Amino acid sequence: MTRPVFSLLLLGIVFASPLSLAEPLKGVDGQSVDIAAPKRVVAVNSSLVEILFRLGKGDAIVGTDVGGTWPPEQEKIAKVGHPYHPSIEGIISLKPDLVLATEENLTPATAGQLRSAGVPVLILENSAKDGIDGLKRRIDIIARLFNVQDAGKRVMQELDKQRADLATKIAALKKKPRILFLYAHGPGEAFVYGKETGVHVLIELAGGQNAADFTTGTKALTAEGMVQAFPDAILMLNRGLEAVGGVEGALKLPGVALTPAGKNKKILAVDNTIRWVGPRFPQFADTLFTAIHEQPSR
């Protein structure tokens, strides 16, 4: 083999090899990836999908779960199942060069199966951890992964401004109303969301007090618990409120009619993705602020 031919072959090998990051990125589970600017990403968790689109990298997503609603372009992306139980076979069939997920979406066993199949996996923090600060950390690591740090900084600066604007409005309040979130698939079963949830973050950003802060995570709704929470307003996902039959149906859930929220029929529908803290969260909080503070109570 002559030297020029060998050099060309070597050059071809270099171009065909995956590019490496300046330094590997370590996930919250301690496992690292070393892939600069992935081309085929399966993103599990709608907040990650929204971050990728906000950073201008939505076209790298080849698969996601069924929990997302934004942006509209995500509807055309292949789906790999439930956000908390994605299909391993479905993910592998898409031949991703990276699976990006938050820690509540992939169990260690599921991540291990994917890695055993040769699929790199980067696990980020729980999508509700530390609210906007945690969101900024996820944006930062994804921006570094795709080498778009400037775009990441712009998004984070925008979040800081929106949070500061909300804080200014909240500082003028004399009272924080008690807000409770109900998660329901239908009339027969519902759960309240306590601390360390995306909903808790939303309520506090909007200047409210989580009426279910007596618990952490989710808890089945009981009439006694609802009366104890004594909420001034109740939040439900758009699809959840529809599933129980609207406001009148929600009033029939255990204990709801006995609360100030029930008596005033102050039951508000919110975006279906609010359980995961994403880039649109300050907008959601601003809308909720108007709904709970500026509408007169009966």
DSSP string, the chain: --HHHHHHHHHHHHHHSPP--SSPEEPTTS-EE--SS-SSEEEESHHHHHHHHHTT-GGGEEEE-TT---SGGGGGSEE-EETTEE-HHHHHHT--SEEEEETTTS-HHHHHHHHHTT--EEEEPPTTTTHHHHHHHHHHHHHHHTT-HHHHHHHHHHHHHHHHHHHHHHHT-S---EEEEEEEEETTEEEEE-BSSHHHHHHHHTT-EETTTTSBSEEE--HHHHHHH--SEEEEEHHHHHHTTHHHHHTTSTTGGGSHHHHTT-EEEE-TTTTS--TTHHHHHHHHHIIIIISPP-
The C-alpha atoms of residue 240 and residue 183 are separated, in whole angstroms, by 7
Kind of pairing between the strands at 189-193 and 218-220: antiparallel
Same domain, 126 and 191: no
Residue with tokens 């609603």: 69
Are the CB atoms for 208 and 287 separated by under 8 Å? no
Of the residues 159, 187, 207, the one at which a domain ends? 159
Does residue 2 belong to any structural domain of this protein?
no
In a domain, 275, yes or no: yes
pLDDT for position 290: 94
Residue type, 83: P
Q: Pairing state of beta strands 189-193 and 85-86?
A: unpaired
Q: What is the pLDDT of residue 232?
A: 96
Q: Looking at the structure, do residues 132 and 200 belong to the same domain, yes or no?
A: no
Q: Are 297 and 154 in contact (CB under 8 A)?
A: no
Is 143 found in the same domain as 35?
yes
Which residue among 94, 125, 159 closes a domain? 159
Instruction: Flag whether 248 is in a domain.
Output: yes
Domain containing 244: what range?
A: 175-293
Q: Is residue 15 in a domain?
A: no
143 and 230 in a single domain? The answer is no
What is the predicted pLDDT for the residue at 37? 86
- Whole-number pLDDT of residue 18: 58
- The CATH number for 182's domain is 3.40.50.1980
> Is the separation of the CB atoms in 181 and 203 below 8 Å?
yes
pLDDT confidence of residue 296: 53
Last residue of a domain, one of 159, 190, 211: 159
Residues 108, 150: one domain?
A: yes
Whether 10 maps to a domain, the answer reads no
Q: How many domains does the chain have?
A: 2
* Same domain as 246, residue 193: yes
Answer yes or no: is 33 within a domain. yes
Indicate if 139 and 220 belong to the same structural domain.
no
Per-residue pLDDT in tens (0 to 9) along the chain, 298 residues: 334 433 433 333 333 445 677 789 999 999 999 988 899 999 999 999 999 999 999 999 999 999 999 999 999 999 999 999 999 999 999 999 999 999 999 999 999 999 999 999 999 999 999 999 999 999 999 999 999 999 999 999 999 999 999 999 999 988 899 999 999 988 878 899 999 999 999 999 999 999 998 889 999 988 998 998 999 999 999 999 999 999 999 999 999 999 999 999 999 999 999 999 999 999 999 999 999 987 554 4
d(CA 114, CA 119): 5
